[in-house]
Structure 1
């Protein structure tokens, strides 16, 4: 191995140092800005969302925020994509847990969804993202892509539960489970039932999803 020699010019070159600083800032700043953006979307709603408020809540100048996200659309796109990613990664973790049966994995997704959807939090960001998608084409495009990802995830799980199903039938049932999951976001957000009724409802959802997975074509 040849001896590596670094000159002081290379080490202390202003442009090189600035590049490293920018890289480090982006790696830390972008996730921080998106976290704040999610909170603003939840608190203010898509109608009241502004990049000025995001910058203010993040404690940075608007020009600094625009260095990373030049427009409101760019920041909102990254924000709703991150919300979807967080849910997808959670559900994917359950779906790909090979130590459990396919049916048990599907049940775990329901349990996780119920625990999250019944309280205030990230699910409110999902609702606001859908509202935004009704008015902004870029948000609608993201929503359509996200729906396809989740549908595919559920279809793969259905295929493991019932390998005899055709690809088309798996996709159809994956879509039905996805539509049920989307409905849960809305239903549980405004549901005022007590814990026992919610528990009964959760068990009923498991029966419905199980039926979609196990039923013959």
Structure 2
């Protein structure tokens, strides 16, 4: 590692202090802006979303926001990616837990999905992301790439269920699980919240997803 030397002149140089503050601001401010952006997307919907409102709700000037995200598209892209990342990281934490069997990991993902998708807030951001993707090509590209990431995650888990499956078959079954998961977002959004029915439905989903993993090619 190259030795780093700081002179007293550099330490007390105002330009050095300014650069340090800028780096610190970016590390803290960008996540804060994206959090506000997610909330605006949920509250106003993609049709009513504006960067002016994000700046206002974040308590910063529009010019300050544009220092980090120069356009509405750039901020929305980062927002959609962050929504997906939060769910992806949750699911990946379960999927890659080698202390549990593939069956247990898959069921843990389902249990988590049933708990998370009925919550207010974040699931609505998924709907708004999909709606935006129907109208704006950049959002469609982001959503398609996100779907590929989730498909690869589940395909890898399917391969642990059944190593004899070809890569193409794993990808296909991973895609089927993703489509089922997307359907859960919709189903749970409009379900009547009957605990016994949801419990039965969750058990059925576990049977279906496990079957996709275990079935021969």
Q: If the TM-score is normalised by the length of the shorter chain, which range does it land in?
A: over 0.9
Q: How does 1:82-97 map to 2 (within 5 A)?
A: 82-97=82-97
Mean CA deviation greater in 202-211 or 187-196:
187-196
Distance apart, 1:191 and its partner CA: 1.0
- CA RMSD after TM alignment: 1.4
- Which residue is equivalent to 1:20? 20
Residues 120, 22 of structure 1: CA spacing in aligned structure 2 closer, same or farther, 3 A cutoff?
same
Residues 103, 61 of structure 1: CA spacing in aligned structure 2 closer, same or farther, 3 A cutoff?
same
CA distance in 2, matches of 1:70, 1:120: 30
TM-score (norm 1): 0.96
Distance apart, 1:205 and its partner CA: 0.5
- Which residue is equivalent to 1:6? 7
Q: How many residues align?
A: 215
* Segments of 4+ moved more than 2 angstroms: 2-5
CA distance in 2, matches of 1:114, 1:3: 50
Confirm whether residue 135 of structure 1 aligns to residue 135 of structure 2: yes
Confirm whether residue 75 of structure 1 aligns to residue 105 of structure 2: no
The Cα offsets for residues 171-203 of structure 1, whole Å up to 9 and x where unpaired, read as: 100000000001111111111141110010000
CA distance in 1, matches of 2:82, 2:195: 30
Q: How does 1:43-192 map to 2 (within 5 A)?
A: 43-192=43-192
CA distance in 2, matches of 1:44, 1:190: 20
The Cα offsets for residues 37-92 of structure 1, whole Å up to 9 and x where unpaired, read as: 00110111101111111111111111111110011000000000000111110000
CA distance in 1, matches of 2:26, 2:176: 39
TM-score (norm 2): 0.96
CA distance in 1, matches of 2:58, 2:32: 8
SS at the partner of 1:160?
helix
Distance apart, 1:3 and its partner CA: 11
Distance apart, 1:18 and its partner CA: 1.1
CA distance in 2, matches of 1:113, 1:5: 50
Runs of 5+ consecutive residues of structure 1 not aligned to the other structure: none
CA distance in 2, matches of 1:203, 1:6: 65
